[in-house]
Amino acid sequence: MRWAFGVVLLALAGLTAWLYSPDKPRELLAAKYVGDYRNADRVRLRLRDTGPRDAPAIIMLHGFGSSLDTWEPWAKALSLRYRVIRFDLPGFGLTGPDPTGDYSDERSVRILVTLLDQLGVKQAHIIGNSLGGRIAWTFAAMHPNRVSRLVLISPDGFASPGFEYGKAPEVPLLMQALPYVLPRTMLRANLAAAYAQPQKLSDASLSRYHAMMLAPGVRRAILARMEQTVLQDPAPKLATITAPTLLLWGEKDGMIPVTNAADYLKLMPDATLVRLPNLGHVPFEEDPTQSLQPVEKFLAGTNP
Rounded distance, CA 120 to CA 287, Å? Answer: 32
Q: Is 82 helix (H, G, I), strand (E, B) or coil?
A: coil
SS (HEC) of 103-170: CCHHHHHHHHHHHHHHHCCCCEEEEEECHHHHHHHHHHHHCHHHEEEEEEECCCCCCECCECECCCCC
pLDDT value of residue 77: 98
CB atoms within 10 A of CB 77: 16
Percent pLDDT > 70 in the chain is: 94
Total number of domains in the chain: 1
229-241 in b/e burial notation, b at 16+ Cβ within 10 A?
bebeebeebbeeb
Asked whether residue 12 is assigned to any structural domain, the reply reads no
- CA dist 27 → 120, 184, 204, 219 (Å): 29, 21, 19, 18
Nearest to 181 by CA among 228, 213, 205: 213
Mean pLDDT of 108-129: 98
Describe the chain by its helix, strand, coil percentages, rounded to 5: 45, 20, 40
Whether residue 46 contacts residue 68, with contact meaning beta carbons closer than 8 Å, is answered with yes
Q: What CATH number has the domain bearing residue 127? A: 3.40.50.1820
What's the pLDDT at 16?
Answer: 45
Instruction: Map residue 182 onto helix, strand or coil.
Output: coil
Q: Is residue 128 part of a domain?
A: yes
Residue 106 lies in a domain: yes
- Contacts of 89 by beta carbon, 8 Å cutoff, 6+ apart: 61, 62, 95, 108, 131, 132, 135
Q: Would 50 be classed as within a structural domain?
A: yes
In a domain, residue 1? The reply is no
Where in the sequence is the domain holding 249, given as residue range(s)? Answer: 23-299
Integer Cα distance of 247 and 154 in angstroms: 7
> Would residue 6 count as lying in a domain?
no
More confident site: 75 or 230:
75
Q: How crowded is residue 186: how many other Cβ atoms within 10 Å of its Cβ?
A: 12
Q: How confident is the model at residue 7 (pLDDT cuts 50, 70, 90)?
A: very low
Inform me whether the pLDDT recorded for 15 exceeds 60.
no
Which range (78-92, 158-172, 223-237) has the least confidence? Answer: 158-172
DSSP letters of 231-260?
A: B---HHHHTT--S-EEEEEETT-SSS-GGG
Q: Which pLDDT does position 160 carry in this prediction?
A: 80
Residue 4 lies in a domain: no
Residue 13, in any domain of the structure: no
